[in-house]
A = this chain, B = another copy of it.
Amino acid sequence: VRNPLLVPDLRELIRAGESPALVDFFQGMHPARVGEILDDLGPGDGDAVVGLLPPRGRAEVMSYIGPEDQARLVEAMAPGDVAELLHFMAHDDRANLVRRLEPEFVEPILRKLAHAEREDIRRLASYEPGTAGAVMTTDYATLAPELTARDALDRLRREAPDRETIDTSYVVGPDHRLIGQVSLKRLILAPPMARVERIMEHEPAFARVDEDQEEVVHKIGRYDLIAIPVVDADDRLVGIVTHDDALDIQRRAQTEDLLAFGGVTTEPGADDAPYWQGSVTSVVRRRIKWLAMLFFAEGLTGSVLRHYQHVETRLPDLALFVPLLIGTGGNAGSQTVGTIIRALSLGEVHPRDAYRVLVREWLTALLLGLLLGALGFVYAMLIRRESAAFAAVIGLTILGICLWANTIGALVPLLARKFGIDPAVVSAPLITTLVDATGLVIYYSIAITLLLHR
């Protein structure tokens, strides 16, 4: 609860039916803030407040509350009120809302809207999730190239009250083809009789309607854009993606990387489900895939240990160090894979740098291995009271496993990127598992050489 002092007072006003006081309180408040208070009030009292807001204010608040809350509110409203709400809502948000509602519920409501508005909603709601189309809005200003700056300003002035923003206008030719863009600043500075086509920016950056959202965000970031125009296969302007959506998409995409790195799931779009949404069985279905796959890979450790069981019977203490050694290898590998995935995602490292990366990671592993190996030697001798030769096996194995773990941790994401796989699918569990079985081979080979073959 972000407003611990406010909420009880508001609840009291709601109970007492003090509608004018409530309307007054929310008047002129930023819709994001209203949304937070609604969240704090919870469904019951929150919905009562929404009922008191004027149509436009209610529509604005919808953009700042969760999808489930939107659906619940709308399903409790009269069809006419829903139609009015959709009319005032941001174009992209209302399309998303309609997409989530049952067709039997929403169709009669859409029929109450003007033809153009209904078509706009239907079209926006029809784009594939994850594409530019699914996140763009159709609320933008267009200008014809032959207009004068003065006429263009007059036109924008007339349209502005209905537009979210007029900071940038898109210049379209016949068939709504995108031919340029012009900022409001440029129009104001231009001589009044200058034609738009003379002052506009030609060849602005644009996105395709079926382009991946993350690619669109990348363009917005690369060119520092407030909005990027989106065109269809025939170069016709069909929408814009704005900077605030870019911030949102980026945030979702990067927490998606966290899921992949944790080995939860690498399915694109699996991230879209909020934590509480979906049944436990759907969560299990998502997680079991990686776990079962890693289980079988980890099964290899059983074969390795079985293969060396004759060594184990002669040196039973070897088994005591197995979790420590493969755990250290897994940790070193996780560090490397985290570092490399980040460097790949920031564009600091490319697959063609593989050799340089390996040299750097080997040097790092060499130093880390020597330090941790010395630690392991001391630990084995002083705390576990093993012989010096035995402790040397532990120290050398740590060095060997660190070198191997850093090799795997660096190579696997680089190879993934090289073969067009998102390096973020290379999870910490995957690297840990890969290092486990091979780490055991290193361990027993060193032990046999130093302790049995002397």
Contact = CB atoms under 8 A, between A and B. Distances in A.
Given A243-B247, A324-B301, A436-B327, A428 B261 contact: yes
A294 B330 CA distance: 11
Copies of this chain, complex-wide, total: 2
Given A327-B436, A338-B263, A251 B248 contact: no
Contacts of A349: 275-276
Contacts of A161: 189
Specify the main secondary structure of chain A where it touches its partner. Answer: helix
A429 B427 CA distance: 12
A105 interface: no
A306 B335 contact: no
Nearest to A365: B284
A247 to B, nearest CB: 5
Interface stretch (A72-80, A95-103, A127-135, A252-260): A252-260
Contact of A334 (B189, B247, B376, B428): B428
A348 B330 CA distance: 30
Contacts of A106: none
Contacts of A364: 280, 283-284, 287
Given A185-B184, A345-B255, A331 B299 contact: no
A298 to B, nearest CB: 4
A417 to B, nearest CB: 14
Interface residues of A, number: 110
A384 B300 CA distance: 11
Interface string A336-377: 111101110110110000000000100110011001100110
Interface string A105-137: 000000000000000000000000000000000
A262 interface: yes
Contacts of A433: 327, 331
Contacts of A427: 334
A180 B427 CA distance: 48
A19 to B, nearest CB: 24
A226 interface: yes
A411 B295 CA distance: 24
Nearest to A380: B302
B276 A348 contact: yes
B338 A258 contact: yes
A389 interface: no
Interface in A285-323: 287-288, 290-292, 294-295, 298-299, 301-302, 305-306, 309, 312-313, 316, 319-323
Contacts of A321: 302
Contact of A302 (B247, B299, B384): B384
A226 B220 CA distance: 13
Given A185-B160, A327-B301, A223 B32 contact: yes
A39 to B, nearest CB: 10
A205 interface: yes
A326 B328 contact: no
A221 B247 contact: yes
B319 A305 contact: yes
A309 B316 contact: yes
15 contacts: A30-B205, A167-B185, A184-B185, A250-B251, A255-B345, A264-B335, A274-B348, A275-B339, A276-B349, A280-B360, A280-B364, A287-B332, A295-B376, A306-B384, A331-B433
Interface of A: 30, 32, 153, 156-157, 160-161, 165-167, 184-185, 188-189, 205, 217, 220-226, 243-244, 246-248, 250-252, 254-255, 257-259, 261-264, 271, 274-276, 280-281, 283-284, 287-288, 290-292, 294-295, 298-299, 301-302, 305-306, 309, 312-313, 316, 319-324, 326-328, 330-332, 334-339, 341-343, 345-346, 348-349, 360, 363-364, 367-368, 371-372, 375-376, 379, 383-384, 427-429, 432-433, 436-437, 440
